[in-house]
Structure 1
Amino acid sequence: MSDLNCGSGGGATTYPQLRIASVFIILIGSLSGALFPVLAQRSSWLHVPKGVFDFAKYFGSGVIIATAFIHLLSPAISELTSPCLSPAWQVYPYPLALALLSVFSIFIVELVAFRWGTAKLAALGVRHDAHGHGLGAHAAHGPEGGMPNDSNSEKSKEDLESAHDHQVDLGATGQVIGVFILEFGVLLHSMLIGLTLAVDPDFITLFVVIIFHQSFEGLGVGTRLAHLQLPPKYNYVAICGALLYGITTPLGIAVGLGVQSTYNPNSTTASIVSGVLDSLSAGILLYTGLVELLAHEFIFNKEMINGSNSRVAYALSCMLFGCGIMALLGRWA
């Protein structure tokens, strides 16, 4: 207890030059992980085999789920049970409650958006494939009934084209919403670890771990962005998402260095803010990882349902490998 520092004093100032260099080193690692899958998917000069993309996709799913449990929920519990906080924080498992609130909030938002989108498509005479939700797999069908006669054929053709256009737009919107939810949870986490790295006394160990952490997490986010099936007018979404991920942790480090003399990560305010944000982010990544990624990639994916046992085993192995590596990094950060 004698080493407990709950005041507003500054963080550690050791290795000042390396802390500054970490902004650029982690920027390179984060951008490389997030941008490479996006650029490889959209450029003709980068010929990446499909097997590499599949590995990165399943590996990334495991990384995201492990991040939720090991790198977000566990620190949130530590932060909101800190001895620096009021005893009122100890009488209820607030980190788990906030994560639970986050899970159901995201679920309700997606449910409302999904019902609204399905109703819009139904009004246009398009039947929606519910199991394709979040994967961009929407089954387009024309209005039920017989073939149109000659007098109405042109009008029917225009109606079908309009319905298809609306379906594509709504499908793209659904995918963008799903990726935005994932990015929001990851970005909150990235900003916080950047702030922590800037002022943490155990800088060297944390720095090395965060380089791998951000690269692996960037790979997970980047492969999800790369697999977005969007119309050409939405192509910028994937690149912007990768760039946003790449700059968030370096930005957090820069902010942390700017307030190094006053920001104490162990202070009461910092513990509460970090704990609440980590809890909410954990809920977001848990929902996204287990529902949007795991369920849709394995349970609702026809390639997995009808695929060979070896294909399913390979995908599971990639996912568990990513989960295991990310969980192992939690030993040090």
Structure 2
Amino acid sequence: MGPLFTATESIFQIVPETMAASSSTILCNASESDLCRDDSAAFLLKLVAIASILLAGAAGVAIPLIGRNRRFLQTDSSLFVAAKAFAAGVILATGFVHMLAGGTEALNNPCLPEFPWSKFPFPGFFAMVAALITLLVDFMGTQYYERKQEREAAHQSDEQPGREQSPGGIVVPVVVEGGNDDDKVFGEEASGGIHIVGIHAHAAHHTHSHSQGHGSCDGHQKIEIGHAHGHGHSHGGLELGSGARHVVVSQVLELGIVSHSIIIGISLGVSQSPCTIRPLIAALSFHQFFEGFALGGCISQAQFKNKSATIMACFFALTTPIGIGIGTAVASSFNSHSVGALVTEGILDSLSAGILVYMALVDLIAADFLSKRMSCNFRLQIVSYMMLFLGAGLMSSLAIWA
């Protein structure tokens, strides 16, 4: 009785394991197996997704670019700062909740070999590497543009003494004699920054004009002239790198957004399940609109020429629809559970997460929330923090459906 019972028990243990292994093998070798699969309905929904996401992305990136000629939507308006905070929350949640979670799910899939994928936390590692590389690119790009603008400014000053050139090709007079009621250097924004990069701003302001006992928030001025004579140099308190920073931020942010837009587009395109595609249409349209708004704001602040700004905006708006088209074209032969597809998806998702988290925290949130303008406007602080948390919360909640 004992040996027979033991043999029977071992059979009951082996059979479920064998069935699980065989079902796992079938799953990993098959393409999509879904009770909701309907190829014709899925194809129509993909066309709807392309149109909806294209319009949402184009509208999001266009509003800040068109609005720079409208007072209430200019990049130094409070409305723009609050909307940009919401968009930053969306991008932050996209990196943490969607991309990093997607990369973790792909690289922990049971269809992957146990070694090396289950022996090391690759998703977090790839995200960290991407963030560090983004920091390096951020730094080197800023240095490059500052040196380039120094050379352009020096050449411009040789041709037109007393005038310097701003990053966007706009000639801005820098030497200003006293007499203004608000004691601002000409070219200074309301936020306190100056769009002059890598040059010696020979502002004819004296120390006494900035040291009359005013509070640190008067005029939101971030300029501290350390010389008693009339020349404030760039190694003082002048924030002369803001223009170059905006140029680099816009380009790196577009790189991060485009890389994951391709991924999510292909993921939607290869799906043949209407039950999967329907919630993705709404989620990705919302997502692309506010990512586009943040990118458009950075492009506007970088003061690109109209042609360059249009090219960057179109490139962003078209990326996800192109990804959907690619996914649709390969859907019949694509196996989302193959080792190659899982590894590629996991690595790209993790890298995108690192880029987006870095850009959201460093170049969007920290740049605005630690600025003098924010610290001097309590109402703007409250609204901006509310919008930041709202954007992050809404984008995170979309993970329930997509």
Q: TM-score scaled by structure 2?
A: 0.66
Cα distance per residue 1:215-274 (max 9 Å; x no partner): 33432332442353345x623333322221211111111111111110122221111111
8 Å CA contact 2:73–2:80 kept in 1: the answer is yes
User: Which residue number corresponds to residue 105 of structure 2?
Assistant: 78
Pairing partner for 2:283 from 212, 225, 232: 212
1:102 to 130, 134, 140: 130
Matched, 1:68 2:138: no
Counterpart in 1 of 2:140?
A: 112
CA gap 1:120/1:196 in 2 versus in 1, 3 angstroms:
closer
Alignment of 1:185-204 (within 5 A): 185-204=256-275
8 Å CA contact 1:60, 1:219 repeated in 2? yes
> Where do 1:231-246 residues align within 5 Å?
231=303, 234-246=305-317
Query: What does the per-residue CA deviation read over 1:31-64, in whole Å, with 9 as the maximum and x for residues that have no partner?
Result: 222223322334x6x9758454233211101001
Q: Does 1:91 align with 2:119?
A: yes
Distance 1:229 1:22 in 2: 30
**Equivalent residue number for residue 329 of structure 1:** 398
1:6 to 24, 28, 38: 28
**Is the 1:101–1:283 contact (alpha carbons within 8 Å) kept by the matching residues of 2?**
yes
SS of 1:319's partner is helix
Distance in 2, Cα, partners of 1:47 & 1:295? 23
Name the structure where helix makes up a greater proportion of residues: 1
Q: 1:289 to 1:26 in 2, by over 3 A?
A: same
Partner of 1:182: 253
Deviation at 1:304, TM superposition (A): 0.9
Maintained 8 Å contact 1:198/1:256: yes
Task: Measure the CA separation in 1 of the matches of 2:372 and 2:347.
Answer: 38
- Partners in 1 of 2:377 and 2:199 — Cα distance? 24
**Relative to 1, partners in 2 of residues 1:119 and 1:10: Cα closer, same or farther, differing over 3 Å?**
same
- Equivalent residues of 2:111, 2:338 under 8 A apart: yes
8 Å CA contact 2:279–2:401 kept in 1: the answer is no
Q: Taking CA–CA contacts closer than 8 Å with sequence separation of 6 or more, which of the two structures ends up with the larger relative contact order?
A: 1
1:59–1:320: 8 Å Cα contact kept in structure 2?
yes
Does residue 314 of structure 1 match 2:342?
A: no
Offset at residue 77 of structure 1 (A): 0.4
Pick the structure with greater CA Rg: 2
Distance across 1 between alignment mates of 2:400 and 2:266:
20
Q: State the distance in 1 between where 2:87 and 2:123 align.
A: 25
Equivalent position amino acid for 2:126 in 1: L
Q: Does 1:281 align with 2:352?
A: yes
- TM alignment of 1:147-166, pairs within 5 A: none
Return the letter of the residue paired with 1:305: S
Structure 2 residues not aligned, in runs of 5+: 1-19, 155-163, 165-190, 207-230, 235-239
Amino acid across the alignment from 2:368: E
Q: CA deviation at 1:208?
A: 2.9
Cα distance in 2 for residues equivalent to 1:104 and 1:191 = 22
Q: 5+ residue gaps in structure 1?
A: 127-131, 148-159, 164-168
Q: Give aligned pairs, total.
A: 305
**What residue is the counterpart of 1:152 in the other structure?**
none
Instruction: Tell me if structure 2 keeps the 8 A contact 1:198–1:260.
Output: yes
Matched residue, 2:50? 23
Q: Which moved more, 1:100-109 or 1:19-28?
A: 19-28
For the 8 Å contact 1:64–1:217, the answer to whether it is kept is no
In the alignment, the residues of structure 1 paired with residue 302 and residue 251 of structure 2 have an alpha-carbon distance, to the nearest angstrom, of 14
CA contact (8 A) 2:32 2:272 kept: no
Structure 2 residue identity aligned to 1:37: P
Match of 2:86 in 1: 59
Q: What is the one-letter code of the residue matched to 2:301? A: Q
Mapped contact 2:263–2:323 kept (Cα < 8 A): yes
1:285–1:135 distance in 2 versus 1, CA, 3 Å: farther
From the superposition, tell whether residues 72 and 136 of structure 1 become closer, same or farther in structure 2 (CA, over 3 Å): farther
Sequence identity percentage: 27
**Could you tell me how far 1:26 is from its partner in structure 2?**
2.2
Do the aligned partners of residues 122 and 198 (structure 1) sit closer, same or farther apart at CA in structure 2, a change above 3 Å counting?
Answer: closer
**Residue 192 (structure 1) shift:** 1.2
Q: Give the Cα separation in 1 of the matches to 2:141 and 2:360.
A: 19
